[in-house]
Amino acid sequence: MDVPPLVAQAQQRAADNGFAYSCAPLTGELLAALAAAVPPGGRILELGTGMGVGLAWVLHGLLGREDVVLVTVEHDPKTAALAAGADWPGWVEPLTGDAVALLPGLGSFDLVFADAEGGKWSGLDRTLAALREGGVLLLDDMDPARYTLAEHHAAIAAVRATLRADAGLVLVDLPVGTGHIIATRRHAAAAA
C-alpha cells in the first residue's frame, strides 16, 4: 500500500523531531480499516497522539467523512503541540493531558485506539467503560517479545486478563507486527 499523504507528513514530523514511538505501518493499516467501519455520526478516540501518525491513518480510513468526531489525547505537552500544529480537519479534537484522568469526561466511542500506557496498561477499566455497544477497541504493542522487563510482561498479562474477564467483549489476539488485540463490545441483547 502506498503511504497516504497525511501519514507521510506525520511520519516526517516524527523523524524531524526524533519521535520513535509512532504507530507502525501494519497497525496503521488495521486502524484505517477499522475506522472505515465507524457508523455515521460515530465517535473515535485515540489514546496517545504522538506526532499524529495513527491519527492520519484514521483519517485515511474515513476518506473525507465529516460526520465523525475524532478525539485524540496526548500526555506530553510538547509532543501534543507539534501534532496539533498539523492541518487536521476541524472535527478532530486534540487534547493534552492524562488520558486516564480525562476518560470519564470524554463520553463513549465506536472505535478506541489505545496506543499509550495510559488507558491501556493503566486505566483500562476506564477505556472499556468508554466503549459503546458494538464498539471496537484496538490495542497495539502487545507482543511480550518486544519487552525485556518483567514489569512490562506483567502489564501485558494484566491487560489480557482484564479483557478476557469481560463477558461483554469478543476478542481476537493477533500476533503480528507489534502484537495486536481487537476487542468488540457485544450489544446488550447478545451479552445476556
Closest CA relative to residue 65, chosen from 29, 41, 85, 47: 41
> pLDDT tens digits for the chain (192 residues)?
689 999 999 999 999 999 999 999 999 999 999 999 999 999 999 999 999 999 999 999 999 899 999 999 999 999 999 999 999 999 999 999 999 999 999 999 999 999 999 999 999 999 999 999 999 999 999 999 999 999 999 999 999 999 999 999 999 999 999 999 999 999 987 555
Taking the C-alpha atoms of residue 52 and residue 109, their distance in angstroms, rounded to an integer, is 19
3-class secondary structure, 116: coil
Q: Mark out the alpha helices in 37-179 (DSSP H runs).
A: 53-62, 77-84, 99-102, 124-129, 150-165
